[in-house]
Every structure is written in structure tokens, then in C-alpha cells.
Amino acid sequence: MLDVVSSRAARLVVFVLGVSLVSSVACLSGLPEATVCAGATQEFCNVRPPPGSAPGDGGMMMVEGGGGCLLVGEPCMGTRGTCACTKDNGCTRGASTCFPPPNCPGSVRQAKATAECIEPRLILRPENLQPPCLCGCSSCAETCDGKGPIFGPNQTFAIELPATLGERGSLGAMIRGRGTGAVMVAIAQGPPGEAGTGMTPTPFGNLVFQGDQLDDLFASTRDGITYDWTESGKRPTTLQVTTDANSYVEIDCVVPFLVP
């Protein structure tokens, strides 16, 4: 009799486990798929100055207002449509956007396990691009979606940081990009809203991009990959980013992050 009861109990446990497993699979199948963060979604354009050339020399394309910019008339740019920023080629954050703050890309988590990423707000004013040499929408440098604008030589933009930062903290910055050239990063403590104007920037390292694959590079100094402050007067308000005189760099995203 005991064997019969044990056998029935065992069959009941198997049945319950089977129902639970089927129910679990059904529930999981109803969940939305995890966001897949793609790599580069645009053709790579290997834009670089001809050897020994200078702005305005033969082979350098001229832009309105003077100066040299290879982006104008470059055949590869035709694969991207127009270099002008329009409502159709801009980038906005949505439910499927990769790494919604405070989440961070894996490279940031590997560098600083406790990092909390900040949603960037890029400030780009035409008067600060002298001469202008940009292909694409600056908004596409705010999201890590494999699509970024190409910045030519001597271009400056800023990333506005939250006004809620405290009197002390640690800030880092990762830039995902590809192409050729150096990008200089600085920390500004002045009022936000003026990229490259009226600021007192503190150098925060140079990032050198070389190649056709997107690479995650960190701003850094000999003190490490974070800018640390312990008083309100040193609280950062913007990250200032400037390309050097020979750069053609596609910037997929700028990712500022805090380290508690």
C-alpha cells in the first residue's frame, strides 16, 4: 500500500513540475526580446588628408567660408545620403536604445564596475565650427547605435553634464569611434551652453582613433580615467571635445559616467 502511495505521489510531482515548466516557457516567450546593440550600421569612409597636403591645397575640398574639408565631394559620403542634418537622419532615444542610463556599455563596466552612466546632451553651435566640417547629425553622437556623425579637423562640441552633480565626485568619459586622428577631451567648470567659449577647461587626455572598426577609448590622465573633485568650485559642467587638425573621426557616442 505504501508503495502505491509513493508511486502516485511521484507521478504527481512529475506532473506538477511539467506544468510549471510549460508555464514558465510560455511566460518567457511572452517577454520582449533583449535589445541587441549592433556594431557599425554605416559604411566606413576612410577619409584622410593626402600626404603632405595642407588645408586649401590641391586635393583638399573647399567648404563655404574657406578652409579645407574632405567631406565635401567625397564619393563615399554619397552612400550616407546627405551630410546635412535632417529630421530623417537624426537620432533619438527610445525604448530600444542601447544602454539607457544609468546602464553602461560593457567596456565602461569592465573599467569601473560601479559606474553609473549619464544621458549626454550634446551642444553644437555652428559658430564654433571654424570652418564647419561635419557630416551627419550631432544627436547621433549621443546614442551608441552604430551610427555617428563624422567630425573633420578642428571641430569642437560639448557634452552638458547634470546640474545636480554634488560638491565632490568622480567623472569619466568613454568615446566610441573610428577613423583617423586625435580627439582632445577637456573638463570645463564654467557655465554650460557655450562649446569652447567662456570656459576654463582642464585637459582630460587625447584619444587617438586609427581604423575602420568602432573602438571604445577612455579619456585619461596620469592620475587615471576619472576626474575627481572635492569642492563645488571644481564641479564639472561640461565635457569639451575637439578634433585635431588632421582628424576625420566618426563618433558613434560619447558616454560620460560617474563612479560612486
Residue 94 has pLDDT above 90, yes or no: no
**pTM for this prediction:** 0.76
- The answer to the question of residue 22 being in a domain is no
Sort 196 into a burial class: Cβ within 10 Å, 0-12 / 13-18 / 19+.
buried
Q: What is the DSSP string of 154-180?
A: T-EEEEEPPTT--SSEEEEEEEEEEEE
Say if residues 29 and 22 touch (Cβ distance below 8 Å).
no
pLDDT of amino acid 82: 77
What is the spatial distance between Cα 132 and Cα 111, in angstroms, rounded to a whole number? 34
Tell me what percent of the residues of the chain surpass a pLDDT of 70.
70
What is the spatial distance between Cα 113 and Cα 155, in angstroms, rounded to a whole number? 32
- The answer to the question of residue 234 being in a domain is yes
Sort 147 into a burial class: Cβ within 10 Å, 0-12 / 13-18 / 19+.
buried
Per the prediction, the chain carries an average pLDDT of 76
Range of the domain at 151: 75-91+100-258
Residue 49 has pLDDT above 90, yes or no: no
Where does the chain have alpha helices with state H? 2-29, 106-111
**Angle 207-195-72 (CA atoms, 0-180°, nearest 5)?**
70
Averaged pLDDT, 66-87: 74
- 92 or 61: which carries more pLDDT confidence? 92
Averaged pLDDT, 6-25: 43
Residue 168 CB neighbour total at 10 angstroms: 12
Stretch among 38-47, 82-91, 160-169, 226-235 having the lowest mean pLDDT: 38-47
Averaged pLDDT, 210-229: 94
Say if residues 105 and 255 touch (Cβ distance below 8 Å).
yes
Residue 11 has pLDDT above 90, yes or no: no
Residue 151 has pLDDT above 80, yes or no: yes
- The answer to the question of residue 114 being in a domain is yes
Say if residues 74 and 47 touch (Cβ distance below 8 Å).
yes
- 11 or 123: which carries more pLDDT confidence? 123
Stretch among 62-71, 115-124, 195-204, 237-246 having the lowest mean pLDDT: 62-71
pLDDT of amino acid 125: 58
Beta bridge partners of 187: 202, 239
- The answer to the question of residue 58 being in a domain is no
Residue 215: helix, strand or coil by DSSP?
A: strand
What is the spatial distance between Cα 27 and Cα 33, in angstroms, rounded to a whole number? 13
Averaged pLDDT, 235-245: 92
- The answer to the question of residue 206 being in a domain is yes
pLDDT of amino acid 50: 61
Name, of 14-23, 46-55, 148-157, the range with top average pLDDT.
Answer: 148-157
Sheet strands (E) in 48-120: 116-117
Provide the domain count of the chain: 1
Residue 80 CB neighbour total at 10 angstroms: 17
- The answer to the question of residue 28 being in a domain is no
Averaged pLDDT, 224-249: 92
pLDDT of amino acid 255: 95
Averaged pLDDT, 172-192: 89
Q: How confident is the model at residue 74 (pLDDT cuts 50, 70, 90)?
A: confident
Q: What is the CATH number of the domain that holds 130?
A: 2.60.120
Sheet strands (E) in the chain: 116-117, 121-123, 134-135, 150-151, 156-160, 169-188, 202-218, 227-229, 238-243, 248-258
